[in-house]
Structure 1
Amino acid sequence: MGKVHERINDRLRKFIEAQPVFFVATAPEQGGHVNVSPKGYADTFRVIDDMSVAYLDLDGSGVETIAHLRQNGRITIMFCAFSGPPNILRLYGTGRVVTPGEDEFPELLARFGPHPGVRSIIVVECERIADSCGFSVPFMSFDKDRTLLDEWAERKDVQQRRTYRAKNNRESIDGIAGLAAEETDPVTQRS
């Protein structure tokens, strides 16, 4: 049934790359709300090496993951097989937020597909890599990516995105600091 892996091997890497959706879970240090976010666009997730992964963080209605990571670093990423053999893979680790002003941002950004509305890149150092059966996960077919998020970001000019981020991305729903004022400036950043 389930197995703990020492690293992200080739089989796990292929499984990850084949999934059209993944889920990100974080929580505040004490109390507050646990957050689980579905993420799409296959070209927004990359395996960096055998123990680290990263994903492109695009504009969104909240900033829970960023706030929680900056507070305590805890994160779990989950992939489910909705087709083919049943499998659930969880990557437990410590995450960090890399914003456009940081030196490593351009090199990381080059790993991802083209998307407008880039806020940050989330990098996770995996501490536990475990899969489980997924026997009860339903079969579902993938038709295509929804392009609505990219389309939304394309319609906004820099000032509109700056205003949106200032309103929605400065703190979490529990009042934990998210993006700082200087980090909410989109300056037409895209991957």
Structure 2
Amino acid sequence: MAKQFPELDDAHRSYIARQHIFFTATAAPTGRVNVSPRSTTALKLLGPNALVYLDRTGSSNETAAHLKLSDRMTIMFCAMDGPPQIMRLYGKGRIIRRGSTEYDALLESAFAGEEPGGARQMVHLDFDLVQTSCGYGVPLHGYEGERPSLDNWAANKSAEELEAYQRQKNQVSIDGFPTGLFEDA
């Protein structure tokens, strides 16, 4: 049975700390719905109703494009090992531009000033609903570790090459919506 809560409690925070993956879901008013997997190593809880994650360069930038058009966002965790459970955080998301005062402050306070290669922006979620459910249908998976692929890819690019890639692949969504990545840059 699903249970709903207005904010995260200690048990919820403990559950999130044990997870290795989360999924973001966003949708513009028209076009495709996007669901993206992320490593929890990039996620930081900011309080009982807020979190942020460091978003790294990828093959597209759907989340940013969708959040420019509609701030609706859901983050989902699902236990792949241990006791079954699913948790969804429903709220309003926004992009924090790399190099902005807010980005720099959060990088220092939430991420100890450590910026991974290929960092592109941060995604902030203010949520007003926490929902848990059984997760009985989620298959068991064993965690083997983080993939080095993105780190290796970013390490082999100069700052100029990363920006060129982002300009080519990350400025427009697959539905043609602008992401805002280089606005006012």
Question: Which range, TM-score by smaller chain?
Answer: over 0.9
Residue pairs, 1:32-181, within 5 angstroms: 32-40=31-39, 42-110=40-108, 111-112=110-111, 114-181=115-182
Deviation beyond 4 Å, 4+ runs, structure 1: none
Aligned residue number for residue 19 of structure 1: 19
SS at match of 2:129: strand
Aligned residue number for residue 189 of structure 1: none
CA distance in structure 2 between the partners assigned to 1:102 and 1:173 by the alignment: 26
TM-score, structure 1 as length reference: 0.91
What is the root-mean-square deviation of aligned Cα atoms in Å?
Answer: 1.4
Deviates more, 1:17-26 or 1:106-115: 106-115
Q: Which amino acid in 2 is paired with 1:15?
A: Y
CA distance in structure 2 between the partners assigned to 1:7 and 1:181 by the alignment: 34
Say how many residue pairs are matched.
Answer: 182
TM-score, structure 2 as length reference: 0.94
Among the aligned pairs, what percent are the same residue?
Answer: 38
- Tell me if the contact between 1:169 and 1:179 (Cα under 8 Å) persists in the aligned partners: no
Q: Is 1:8 matched with 2:8?
A: yes
CA distance in structure 2 between the partners assigned to 1:24 and 1:100 by the alignment: 19
Structure 1 residue 101: Cα displacement: 3.2
CA distance in structure 1 between the partners assigned to 2:69 and 2:107 by the alignment: 24
CA distance in structure 2 between the partners assigned to 1:70 and 1:85 by the alignment: 37
CA distance in structure 1 between the partners assigned to 2:99 and 2:156 by the alignment: 24
CA distance in structure 1 between the partners assigned to 2:6 and 2:92 by the alignment: 16
CA distance in structure 1 between the partners assigned to 2:84 and 2:181 by the alignment: 41
In structure 1, stretches of 5+ residues that fail to align are 186-191
